[in-house]
Structure 1
Amino acid sequence: MPTPRIDRRTFLRASGVLIGLPFLEAMMPARGAGTNQDPARLVLVGQPLGMYGPNFFPTKPGRDYEPSRYMKLLQAHRDRFTVFSGMSHRYATGHFAEVGIFTGVAPEMIRDKDIKNGISLDQEVASHIGNETRFSSLIIGGGDVAWNRRGVRIPSEQRATRVFRQLFIAGTPDEEARELQRVKDGQSILDDVGDQIKALNRKVGTGDRERLDLFLTAVREAEQSLQQDEHWSKTPKPKVDFQTPTSDFGGPQLVERSRQWYNIVHLALQTDSTRVISLWLGTQERPDIEGVTLGHHDASHHGQDPAKLEQLALIEEEEIKLFAEFLDKMKASKEGSNTLLDRTAVLYTSNLGNSSSHDNNNLPIVLAGGTFKHQGHLAYDPKNNTLLSNLYVRMLQHMNVDAKSFGASNGIISGGLVIEKYMGLEPYK
């Protein structure tokens, strides 16, 4: 007996609950009924304090590079990412360049106290495909990195509870408040849709039941992190001997906060709630990492002090480990014959190269997943940097946007990073 087909837009519904489902084999069209074009997705991950170059960049270019201290943490995905060196937007020294990290406009448009910005990469993509999903894009975590076509900043949602509510809780204000409070009290929103889940499991095959189980586990993990969030909000902050930061990038709970955001990004993509996400991570305070006694900002301004450099390395290693965890989840999530990672271009970067001197050149850049033929380590001139916007053009093409330029680009990235034939499209060269 054939497995009944399930509509791609099926939701689990109850009073105050609306949960989209991950892609299941039972959602694929019947043979001969036409093709269901696989969706392409984009995730931009940024953080404000750079990465220490000698620990981040491999010394040898090409696919057979020897991994650096940080790249060793990503080797499980070696064939699914490219690390870049010698790339930037060529902005002047200073933290203010954060506003241009994903817009890539010309250097003369990004000056301290004189910003004339353009549209950011995520919003350019959202303008082409955003109406195909419940949310055209998600801008989360913090930062000033999302901008519309008029060069107006789009605020980021910094509260994970609000994003979780947008994704999974629907109803009257009272129903939403009740469901969110239940989650915080340790109950699951899945309790309300338990019978629907059981009925769905009876309709699908073994592979889909495994996918559903992974998805529901991810929902529970996200709920648990929100409960942890509630705990930390009621816990007094530790007293430490360093200057109070001027801005809050998530507090000292760097690890759990970042993991929480990555889990929400994963769930949003699994449910096809959106296909475009920008996520800004990081903390300037002392993070919750064993062996770290300095604030992140203090350690990043190391002045080549060996003790500070080792503290910084512990922090940055943890950040890369969290990114690796996220890639693990993306790879484990199947969509048809591919994985979520296969369909998602994930960019990890920072607006700073050397945070100790506020230098915006030679940015740390990893591009993972997507339809690209990955090249290991693509090394460009560390003094005369290749424009990062040239890579953004290639990323637009991954998103099926027939772009020839973006921001201040003066070409399209070369070095073999072409887009392989995929989704019925001819590859870009």
Structure 2
Amino acid sequence: IPAEEGTDYRMTPCLSPLAQFRRDFHVLSGVDNAAASGQGNGHTNSMSGLMTGTLFTGRGPSGPSVDQVIAAKIGGESRFRSLQIGVAQESFGESMQRNMSWAGYERALPPEMIPHRLFDRLFGQREEGWVNRKRSILDAVQSDASSLKKKLPTDDQNRLEEHMSGIRDLERSIAALPEEYRRVDPPDFDGDMKDWPRIAKLQSDLLVQALATRQTRVASYMLTKCQSISRFPWLGYTSARHHDYTHAEGRVSGADGAEGQRVLRDICKWHVEEFAYLVAKLKSIPEGDGSVFDRTALIFVHEHAEANPHKNSGLAMLVAGGVGKMAKGRHTRVTGTAGDIYLTVADEIVGAGIGKFPTASKKISSLLA
């Protein structure tokens, strides 16, 4: 969290991947996860409070998550009312720790973690012989696309070409994944993951395509599982797990002290790098006189302000995008709840008209331009 408020705050190491997009997002700190009290292991109750504004029942939340509340208002005319996307395949922990989206009381909406499956949901199931012949899903629409292109002005012809090329590039990238990436396997006891960064970028690419093609207007994206026990070999850290670092477990070499804090900063920075990748992708797709990013609102959240004590007050959140009257390019310390943030974004920025949300009692005026 930056030490300074306003537009001239100094970028922290964790936020540095977003430096080039400084004017495109708003840092909010001091946010209260007001519904995180009650039963739970410190993670389950925090996730329930953060995503739904309701108490943890022991099995799940007491109501729907914010994405589903918004989807109920604006998702009805889309092919998918909402999409749930994930990356980490850890099976450790409870359902509340593996799911961000909830349809209602204790009803989880699990994220799709396999790029092959998400691609097929968006662009159609490919029969096995087709795959074996290494043909493209685009072959089925090539004739129609060629006919359409002749009727379009030059700018729109270029956009159609870019769209088709983007889908083909995604198809090639997914086809190049090892065979084991086509399934979710029960992980080994140590919980280590597959090539997380590679999968994360593919999932981000697919999410951007889903938004750009208007297949959905609402999505949740769970990059990491709550209470992660994974290591981060792509960052060079293999001796301890994420959860060990967050709790400074001295029994694990390198997890406590200054070294452990440095590792945590690197892990945090990597999460923000993936968010920055998503922002860049949204900005790369033209729409109207701007980009898909200019018509999108993004919220980046974590269930704790401090992981070691499971602190639920003083959370930091990032709100990014170009839609509506969003104030950007600044850091603001707010007095309010996660529900207040959601209500402000949903009603004043997105225009979803949800009207209310658990734990919300006001709109956050500093978030509005």
Same-fold call, TM > 0.5?
yes
Amino acid at match of 2:245: A
Q: 2:363 aligns with which of 402, 412, 415?
A: 412
Question: What TM-score does the superposition give when structure 2 sets the normalisation length?
Answer: 0.82
CA change 1:295–1:186 in 2 (3 A) is: farther
Q: Which runs of 5+ in 2 are unaligned?
A: 88-97, 250-255
Please report how far the alpha carbon of residue 231 of structure 1 lies from its aligned counterpart in structure 2 after TM superposition: 4.4
Partner of 1:147: helix, strand, or coil? strand
CA change 1:288–1:351 in 2 (3 A) is: same
Matched residues in 2 for 1:306 and 1:168: separation? 48
Q: Is the Cα contact below 8 Å between 2:86 and 2:203 reproduced in 1? A: yes
Amino acid at match of 1:296: H
CA change 1:227–1:356 in 2 (3 A) is: farther
> Which residue of structure 1 lines up, in the alignment, with residue 113 of structure 2?
158
Matched residues in 2 for 1:322 and 1:115: separation? 28
Q: 1:325 aligns with which of 277, 285, 291?
A: 277
Q: Is the Cα contact below 8 Å between 2:7 and 2:329 reproduced in 1? A: yes
Please report how far the alpha carbon of residue 263 of structure 1 lies from its aligned counterpart in structure 2 after TM superposition: 0.9
Please report how far the alpha carbon of residue 414 of structure 1 lies from its aligned counterpart in structure 2 after TM superposition: 2.3
Matched residues in 1 for 2:164 and 2:245: separation? 39
> Which residue of structure 2 lines up, in the alignment, with residue 244 of structure 1?
190
> Which residue of structure 2 lines up, in the alignment, with residue 18 of structure 1?
none
Amino acid at match of 2:263: Q
2:44 aligned with 1:98, yes or no?
no
Amino acid at match of 1:103: T
Amino acid at match of 1:214: E
Q: 1:374 aligns with which of 328, 331, 334?
A: 328
Matched residues in 1 for 2:160 and 2:291: separation? 14
Q: 1:297 aligns with which of 239, 243, 257?
A: 243
Please report how far the alpha carbon of residue 368 of structure 1 lies from its aligned counterpart in structure 2 after TM superposition: 0.5
2:63 aligned with 1:110, yes or no?
no
CA-to-aligned-CA distance 1:144-195 (integer Å, 9 cap, x gap): 222224553333333332221111015xxxx54445x35xx85432234333
Matched residues in 1 for 2:161 and 2:305: separation? 41
> Which residue of structure 2 lines up, in the alignment, with residue 73 of structure 1?
17
> Could you list the runs of 4 or more consecutive aligned residues of structure 1 that deviate by over 6 angstroms after TM superposition?
none
CA-to-aligned-CA distance 1:195-224 (integer Å, 9 cap, x gap): 333333333233223322332333133223
Matched residues in 2 for 1:200 and 1:125: separation? 34
Matches within 5 A, 1:21-36: none
Matches within 5 A, 1:144-293: 144-150=99-105, 152-170=107-125, 176-179=127-130, 181-182=131-132, 187-233=135-181, 244-245=190-191, 251-282=193-224, 284-293=229-238
Q: Is the Cα contact below 8 Å between 2:32 and 2:336 reproduced in 1? A: yes
Partner of 2:301: helix, strand, or coil? strand
Matched residues in 1 for 2:241 and 2:179: separation? 22
CA change 1:406–1:163 in 2 (3 A) is: same
CA change 1:59–1:213 in 2 (3 A) is: farther
Please report how far the alpha carbon of residue 386 of structure 1 lies from its aligned counterpart in structure 2 after TM superposition: 2.2
CA change 1:163–1:387 in 2 (3 A) is: same
Matched residues in 1 for 2:235 and 2:257: separation? 20
Please report how far the alpha carbon of residue 114 of structure 1 lies from its aligned counterpart in structure 2 after TM superposition: 6.8
CA change 1:133–1:176 in 2 (3 A) is: farther
CA change 1:229–1:117 in 2 (3 A) is: farther
Q: Which runs of 5+ in 1 are unaligned?
A: 1-56, 421-429
Matched residues in 1 for 2:171 and 2:43: separation? 34
CA change 1:221–1:310 in 2 (3 A) is: farther
CA-to-aligned-CA distance 1:295-319 (integer Å, 9 cap, x gap): 3333333365222222232232222
Partner of 2:220: helix, strand, or coil? strand
Q: Is the Cα contact below 8 Å between 1:390 and 1:405 reproduced in 2? A: no
Matched residues in 1 for 2:232 and 2:123: separation? 30
Matched residues in 1 for 2:202 and 2:102: separation? 24
CA change 1:208–1:158 in 2 (3 A) is: same
Moved more, 145-154 or 367-376: 145-154
Aligned CA RMSD, in angstroms, stands at 2.8
Matched residues in 1 for 2:365 and 2:329: separation? 10
> Which residue of structure 2 lines up, in the alignment, with residue 335 of structure 1?
287
> Which residue of structure 2 lines up, in the alignment, with residue 363 of structure 1?
315
CA-to-aligned-CA distance 1:25-59 (integer Å, 9 cap, x gap): xxxxxxxxxxxxxxxxxxxxxxxxxxxxxxxx111
Question: What TM-score does the superposition give when structure 1 sets the normalisation length?
Answer: 0.71
| Percentage identity across paired residues of the two chains | 27
Partner of 1:284: helix, strand, or coil? coil
Amino acid at match of 2:328: H
Matched residues in 1 for 2:307 and 2:169: separation? 33
CA change 1:336–1:261 in 2 (3 A) is: same
Partner of 1:64: helix, strand, or coil? coil
CA change 1:286–1:214 in 2 (3 A) is: farther
Matched residues in 1 for 2:194 and 2:16: separation? 26
Matched residues in 2 for 1:302 and 1:221: separation? 42
Matched residues in 1 for 2:270 and 2:61: separation? 35
Amino acid at match of 1:401: A
Matched residues in 2 for 1:255 and 1:119: separation? 29
Count, aligned residues: 339
Please report how far the alpha carbon of residue 66 of structure 1 lies from its aligned counterpart in structure 2 after TM superposition: 1.2
Partner of 1:309: helix, strand, or coil? helix
